[in-house]
C-alpha cells in the first residue's frame, strides 16, 4: 500500500491544447497568413491569370501568344516561390 501511494500520478488522458492559434479557422488563418506575406497570394493570382490567358490563347490557335504566356507563367511561379521563401526567412528572423 505504501508503494502505491508513492507512485506518481499518471498524465492526463486529454491532450494539452496547442499554443497560439488553436481556435483559428481556415478563413482566419488564411487572412492572417495573407497579412503576414501579401506577395504570395498576389503571385498565385498572377500565375492563375497568366495560365488562364495562355490556355485561352492556345485554344484560339494563337500559338505565339500561348508560348509567351507559358513563359510568363514560369516567371510568375518563380516570383511566388521567391516570395514564399522570403516570407519564411522573414518569419524565422522575426522569431529569433
| Per-residue pLDDT tens digits for 21-56 | 567 888 998 898 888 889 999 999 999 999 999 999
Instruction: Produce one character per residue of 63-88: b if its CB has 16 or more CB atoms within 10 Å, e if not.
Output: eeebeebeebbeebbebbeebeeebe
pTM: 0.68
Neighbouring C-beta atoms of residue 56, cutoff 10 Å: 13
| Per-residue pLDDT tens digits for 11-26 | 777 776 666 656 788 8
Amino acid at each position: 500500500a505504501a508503494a502505491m501511494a508513492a507512485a506518481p500520478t499518471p498524465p492526463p488522458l486529454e491532450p494539452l491544447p496547442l499554443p497560439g492559434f488553436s481556435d483559428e479557422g481556415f478563413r482566419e488563418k488564411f487572412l492572417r497568413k495573407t497579412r503576414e506575406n501579401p506577395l504570395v497570394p498576389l503571385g498565385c493570382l498572377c500565375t492563375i491569370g497568366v495560365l488562364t490567358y495562355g490556355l485561352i490563347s492556345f485554344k484560339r490557335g494563337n500559338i505565339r501568344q500561348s508560348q509567351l504566356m507559358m513563359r510568363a507563367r514560369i516567371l510568375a511561379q518563380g516570383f511566388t516561390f521567391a516570395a514564399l521563401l522570403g516570407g519564411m526567412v522573414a518569419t524565422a528572423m522575426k522569431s529569433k
